Structure 1
Amino acid sequence: MPVLQRPARGRARDDRDRVSTGRIALVTGAAQGIGAAIAERLAAAGMTVAMADLADPAAWTTTRDQVAAAGESGKSGTAPSTHRVDVRSAESCRALVREVEARHGGLDVLVNNAGVNGRGPAEELSEQDWNDPLEVNLSGTFRMCQAAYPLLTASPAPCIVNLTSTAGQVAVPGCAGYAVSKAGILHLTRVLALEWAAKGIRVNAVGPTIVPTAMNAEVRADAEYLTDKLASIPLGRMVEPGEVADGVAFLASPAAKMVTGHTLFVDGGVVLG
């Protein structure tokens, strides 16, 4: 496959305003759910999408094909690529970035969506139950940001969008490790936005409330839990994966070129309480 020609690093800053299609986006946790919706939405916007997940890409070819179809409608011009990554490993993150550079010639947009959940009363959490969300969600996000930094500094319009949660802003019982990991992403987003602004790298986050995905299928099957959860959402319903993807697409677009260090809550008003 031909390598996309990258714009010169010395391009004038005004050209950033005009960059919309032809950009290269990397989405982690892209095999299903929110990540798949994000990859599809960015492809439809005309971006070339590299999709990465811990699961073997051979197991999620349907997702890849859906993203490819969205790319054709969005005239991205380049088929999506699929990759395997374990965000618990810094070397795996660096290897992924090298693969994306070799395949597509650079990187403009990084979406850190890979994550795990964990539930249970705080007094009963095992050390692993506590550590897993921190290791994958928070440290994994940091590892990917760090690995992608050199390529992003060469982009004419670099940005990062991290996935956090309303649980990182509003205290929610029964998910201490997950909630703290998402709160950490919220603040990491602000710190990196401040540190990397001089390089022109915008860093933002999207924080949804509950989204109907496989990750939370078990709790959604609990009628009492779901009733209580929906009662906490002023607009009275769950957020669809495509609505989260719309928020990511906005923050990754030229329309948000002066937005950095911000968390966009796609939550039906949960954080108002």
Structure 2
Amino acid sequence: MTDPFRLDGRVAVVTGAARGIGACVAATLAGRGATVASADLAGAAHRVDVRDAASCAALVSDVVDRYGRLDLLVNNAGVVRRGPAATMSEVDFTEVLDVNLTGTFRMCQAAYPALRAAGGAVVNLGSTNGHIAVKGSAGYCVSKAGVLHLTRVLALEWAADRIRVNAVGPTIVPTDMTADVRGDQRYMAEKMATIPLGRMAEPADVAGAVAYLLSDAAAMVTGQTVFVDGGVTIQ
């Protein structure tokens, strides 16, 4: 019998893949048999700036030219800017939305024709912050809430094209993006108290959920967010 969790013969694009969650996702998909195009602004096999629609389109074109198809898309590229909402600059607020939310939209839109041809699947990186309010990160929270709802809208619109669209919503993960807050003992004590399973999510925890949602094992799953959060959002 064919293993429904395998991704053999499929071509995947992972954005924000130079490090952290993205690098782990890329390695996990490759380990399950996919051909993976790792894309990043900071340097990876393919360069992409998700703030630029032309860059997103060029990435998709390059991948299709090189591999003949595009089956899977993981929108992992993201940034965070922290600070009180009352004093956060408009630049910081809009920059986070531009990368996290509009960047996800740009990549989905650029990949749509290839995904439609393949009957593909998309996983967007959300966050528990997109479901619950968190102090000091208004732009990030709003951007991730937008990602979760964009996921639902695209899943609805693209179901007729045989494209599944889902999201994952991790709690805090030990990556460079969280290095500043992980160094704050008080912050971490409060954060860990909100996680029933009592630990951070590792990149591999997130990657496993992404790989599942992209696989045939999730063939009837679309428009959903899988929270990889140790129980944060059940409270």
Q: Deviations over 1:28-74 (max 9, x none)?
A: 000000000000000000000000000133xxxxxxxxxxxxxxxxx
Contact 2:5 2:212 in 1 (8 A): no
Q: Does 1:221 align with 2:208?
A: no
Secondary structure of 2:167's counterpart equals strand
Query: Structure 1 CA distance, aligned partners of 2:42 and 2:67?
Result: 22
Q: 2:95 maps to which residue? A: 132
User: Within 5 Å, which residues of 2 pair with 1:24-35?
Assistant: 24-35=11-22
Could you tell me the percent identity over the aligned residues? 64
Shift of 1:132: 1.1
- Alignment of 1:176 onto 2:163: no
Letter in 2 for 1:51: S
Structure 2 residue 82 is matched with structure 1 residue 95:
no
Report whether the alignment pairs 1:56 with 2:19: no
Distance (Å, rounded) in 2 between the aligned partners of 1:53 and 1:121: 29
Q: Which amino acid aligns with 1:180?
A: V
Cα distance change on mapping 1:116 and 1:18 into 2, 3 Å: closer
How far the C-alpha of 1:214 sits from its partner, in A, is 0.5
How far 1:22 moved relative to its partner? 1.2
The separation in 1 between residues aligned to 2:69 and 2:22, in whole angstroms, is 21
For 1:19 and 1:257, the matched residues in 2 are separated by: 13
**Counterparts of 1:119 and 1:214, CA distance in 2:** 14
Looking at structure 1, the residues matched to 115 and 85 of structure 2 have their Cα atoms a distance apart, in angstroms, of 38
User: Which whole-Å CA distance do the structure 1 matches of 2:143 and 2:221 have between them?
Assistant: 23
Residue identity opposite 1:201 in structure 2: I
Cα distance in 2 for partners of 1:110, 1:133 equals 21
Moved over 4 A (4+): none
Tell me the matched-pair count: 233
Instruction: Pick the structure with greater CA Rg.
Output: 1
After TM superposition, the structure 1 = structure 2 runs for residues 111-150 of structure 1, keeping only pairs within 5 Å, are 111-150=74-113
Residue identity opposite 1:127 in structure 2: E
Report the secondary structure of 1:122's partner residue: coil
Q: TM-score, normalised by structure 2?
A: 0.97
Aligned residue type for 1:262: Q
Equivalent residue letter for 2:7: S
CA distance in 2, matches of 1:215, 1:123: 23
- Report the secondary structure of 2:26's partner residue: helix
In structure 2, what is the Cα distance between the partners aligned to 1:228 and 1:19?
A: 39
Equivalent in the alignment of 1:200: 162
- TM superposition shift of 1:167: 0.2
* CA separation of 1:227 and 1:19: change in aligned 2, threshold 3 A: closer
Amino acid at match of 2:59: L
- Unaligned stretches of 5+ residues in structure 1: 1-14, 58-81
Aligned to 1:230: 192
Task: Verify: 1:267 aligned to 2:223, yes or no.
Answer: no
The residue number in structure 1 matching 2:123 is: 161
- 8 Å CA contact 2:5, 2:32 repeated in 1: no
Match of 1:44 in 2: 31
State the Cα deviation string for residues 126-166 of structure 1 (Å, max 9, x = none): 011111110000000000000000001110x4000000000
TM-score under structure 1 length normalisation: 0.84
Counterpart AA for 2:63: V
1:143 aligned counterpart, secondary structure:
helix
**Pairwise CA distance, 1:103:** 1.1
Root mean square deviation of aligned Cα = 1.3
